[in-house]
């Protein structure tokens, strides 16, 4: 095989690894912030933050699937879910799935707009669904983040390993 093909494949592999590490670190930080902001009992908060920090990814997953799900299940469900939050999640998900087909970026932008509007309305306290709006925003922002990572890693690799004739 030609060295250019090998270097391109290695560059793609490294880009994917960097992206996965970035996502895992972001999720880990989000879990710590979520625990610090939403755990009411100070002792529980301290124990959970130490669990997340010291155990890393297993601690993060343990918190999300054990404690956070329990806390979310016990939340007040009397308020209606914000419709813009639902629209943000739907637009963000469809946009993420079809982002590289072109039209997905338009849907992602619409999902971002609806997600921010929903979060602003939810802060007034008349509706619920902040997690839905946040999920929609994450799904809508992801394609733009992927492109940024590809450019940030791929461009220097292309310049460094490019054709040197």
**pLDDT tens across 95-152, in order?**
888 877 778 888 899 999 999 999 999 888 788 888 889 988 988 998 898 888 888 8
Which helix (H) or strand (E) segment is 19 a member of? helix 3-38
* DSSP symbols for 112-135: HHHHHHHHHHHTTTS-B-HHHHHH
The domain total for the chain is 2
Question: Ramachandran region of residue 125, left (φ > 0), alpha (ψ -120 to 50) or beta?
Answer: left
Q: Which contacts (CB < 8 Å, 24+ apart) does range 159-165 have?
A: 161/4, 161/7, 161/8, 161/11, 163/4
Query: Which of 102-135 are b and which e, b meaning 16 or more Cβ less than 10 Å from the residue's Cβ?
Result: eebbebbebbbebbbbbbebbeeeebbbeebbbb
Note if the pTM is more than 0.75: no
Last residue of a domain, one of 75, 101, 118: 75
Q: Which domain holds residue 65?
A: 1-75
Rounded to 5 degrees, φ, ψ at 127 are: -140, 170
Last residue of a domain, one of 35, 50, 75: 75
User: Tens of pLDDT along 10-57?
Assistant: 888 888 888 888 888 888 888 888 888 888 788 888 888 888 888 888
Last residue of a domain, one of 75, 96, 117: 75
Let me know whether 5 and 65 are in one domain: yes
Dihedral sign for Cα 89, 57, 28, 41, please. positive
């Amino acid at each position: 095989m030609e060295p250019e093909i090998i270097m391109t494949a290695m560059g793609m592999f490294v880009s994917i690894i960097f992206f996965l590490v970035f996502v895992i670190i972001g999720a880990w930080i989000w879990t710590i912030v979520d625990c610090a902001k939403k755990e009411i009992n100070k002792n529980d908060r301290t124990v959970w933050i130490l669990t997340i920090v010291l155990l890393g990814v297993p601690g993060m997953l343990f918190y999300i699937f054990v404690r956070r799900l329990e806390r979310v299940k016990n939340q007040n469900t009397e308020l209606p879910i914000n419709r813009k939050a639902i629209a943000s999640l739907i637009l963000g998900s469809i946009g993420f799935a079809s982002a590289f087909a072109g039209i997905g970026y338009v849907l992602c932008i619409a999902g971002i707009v609806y997600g921010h509007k929903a979060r602003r309305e939810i802060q007034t306290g008349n509706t619920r669904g902040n997690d839905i709006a946040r999920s929609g925003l994450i799904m809508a922002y992801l394609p733009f983040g992927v492109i940024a990572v590809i450019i940030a890693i791929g461009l220097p690799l292309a310049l460094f390993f490019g054709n040197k004739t």
